Amino acid sequence: MSMKAVMKLCIVIAAGLLALLSSDSAFAQAQNPGSQAAIEKVFPHSNKCKRCHERVYEEWETSPLAKSIHSPAFRTALDAYVKSSGGKDQALCFRCHAPHVREFSEQAQLFVDQAKGGDPSLDGVACSQCHLIKHVDRAKHPPEPKYEVGGKTLYGPYKDFVQNLAHQSMESSLFQKSDLCLNCHQSIPSSANLGKANDLLGNWDQSRAVKSGKECQTCHMPQQVGESANGEKKRTVANHSFPGRLGKLRQEAAKVAVQTKVEGDKTTVTVKVQSLVPHNLPATHPAWASVVLNLEIKGKNLKTVFSDKRVYGRTYLDAQGQPTIFDFEAVKVAEDTVLKPEETREETFTFSTPKDTKTFDVEVGLNYSPVNGPASFLQRVEAESPQGSQDPVFQPIEIVKRTENVPVGK
Per the CB < 8 A criterion, the answer to whether 359 and 408 are in contact is: yes
At 231 the pLDDT is 84
At 187 the pLDDT is 66
CA 300 to CA 303: how far, in whole Å?
Answer: 6
Beta bridge partners of residue 269, listed in sequence order: 260, 349
At 200 the pLDDT is 84
Residue-by-residue DSSP string for 215-283:
-HHHHHS-EEEE-SSTTPPPEEEE--S--SSSSGGGGGSEEEEEEEEEETTEEEEEEEEEE-SSS-BS-
* 353 pLDDT more than 90: yes
Please give the span between the terminal C-alpha atoms of the chain, in angstroms, as a whole number.
Answer: 107
- The sheet with strand 314-317 has its strands ordered as 323-324, 314-317, 332-336
List Cβ neighbours of 216 (8 Å cut-off, separation of 6 or more).
178, 180, 181, 185
List Cβ neighbours of 89 (8 Å cut-off, separation of 6 or more).
108
CB atoms within 10 A of CB 149: 12
**pLDDT level of residue 196 (50, 70, 90 thresholds):** low
* Listed residue (200, 344, 224, 350) closest to 284, CA to CA: 200
Q: What is the mean pLDDT of residues 343-357?
A: 96
Beta bridge partners of residue 225, listed in sequence order: 236
Buried b or exposed e, range 37-75, using 16+ CB within 10 angstroms: bebbebbbbbeebbebbebbbebbeebbbbbbbebbbbb
- Calculate helix-pair angle for 108-117, 72-85, nearest 10 degrees: 130
Per the CB < 8 A criterion, the answer to whether 359 and 353 are in contact is: no
Total-model pTM:
0.86
DSSP H or E segment with residue 14 = helix 3-22
Q: What is the mean pLDDT of residues 216-242?
A: 92
pLDDT tens digits, 365-388: 999 999 999 999 999 999 999 999
* 327 pLDDT more than 70: yes
CA 299 to CA 281: how far, in whole Å?
Answer: 32
**pLDDT level of residue 165 (50, 70, 90 thresholds):** confident
Q: What is the mean pLDDT of residues 319-323?
A: 92
Domain 251-407, CATH homologous superfamily name and number: Intracellular proteinase inhibitor BsuPI (2.60.40.2360)
Judged on CB neighbours under 10 Å (0-12, 13-18, 19+), 144 is middle
* 28 pLDDT more than 60: no
* Farthest-apart Cα atoms in the chain, separation: 107
Q: How far is CA 154 from CA 116, 137, 158, in A?
A: 30, 18, 11
Phi-psi region of 163 (alpha: psi -120 to 50; beta: other; left: phi over 0): beta
Q: What is the β-pairing status of strands 291-298 and 304-312? A: antiparallel
At 233 the pLDDT is 86
**pLDDT level of residue 189 (50, 70, 90 thresholds):** low
pLDDT tens digits, 249-262: 888 999 999 999 99
Per the CB < 8 A criterion, the answer to whether 380 and 76 are in contact is: yes
Collapse the DSSP code of 41 into the 3-class scheme (helix H, G, I; strand E, B; otherwise coil) and give the result. helix
For residue 32, give the amino acid letter.
N
SS3 for 289-320 is CCEEEEEEEECHHHCEEEEEEEEECEEEECCC
